Amino acid sequence: MTSPLTVGLLAFPDLTQLDLTGPYEIFARAPGMRAVVVGTRPGLIRSDSGLSLGTDCMLDDAPPLDVLCIPGGIGVNGLLTDDRVLDFVADRGARAAWVTSVCTGALVLGAAGLLRGYRATTHWLSLDLLADLGATPVEARVVRDRNRITGGGVTAGIDFALTLVAELHGREVAERIQLTIEYDPAPPFRSGSPRQAAGPLVAALRTDRARVQDERKRRLREALARRGG
């Protein structure tokens, strides 16, 4: 009997829960796949929206991972200067068959040295930061470059997970999962990307997020200087 593929999804304080739970829902329904939530610390992990998530293991006792998946969120800022987490990501990423991320989780992959020379995407507010990490930024919902698959902001995690399931098990399996969860997006507004949203709305969001982005840039510079990026 073939062993299941193990997908390790990193859970850390102030992550965006849908970055993790969206792909988890897909992988949990895929045949021959086992989703494992790897916590950066013991106990429940509180997301940036207040939802508490349980974990299956910690960094030190995580099983071998066939797929490494890093979600994003405000808490990514803290990870960018956390050598314990970055060392784990670098080590497991070097051994995993697939190295993946959702949203700003791509910055963690980059800070761990796993995106240098690869095409990648992330949330539109942080897309320009990928170049500092040696990646080629691509404005897209999902980007695959060899065994790296990165998803754009938050909801793109569902698209990324379906893409990987189709790669591993075929399109029919992925389509069956998509139909089962009735993933048929029809948003009430055309404001889901900066290409579609009104200019003032985009500008207002940039202003609202300026402090988070400034801290993110500072921590990235520190990570690159310390880890030889």
What are the phi and psi torsion angles at 28 (to 5°)?
-65, -25
The conformation of residue 2, written as its DSSP 8-state character, comes to P
Rounded Cα–Cα distance for residues 110 and 145 (Å): 14
Rounded Cα–Cα distance for residues 115 and 96 (Å): 14
Rounded Cα–Cα distance for residues 184 and 186 (Å): 6
Active site residue 57: no
Rounded Cα–Cα distance for residues 109 and 86 (Å): 8
109 with 101: CB under 8 angstroms? yes
Catalytic residue among 103, 112, 143, 154: 103
For 122, counting Cβ atoms within 10 Å of its Cβ (0-12 exposed, 13-18 middle, 19+ buried), the class is buried
- β-pairing verdict for 142-145 and 5-11: unpaired
Q: Which residues are part of the catalytic machinery?
A: 103
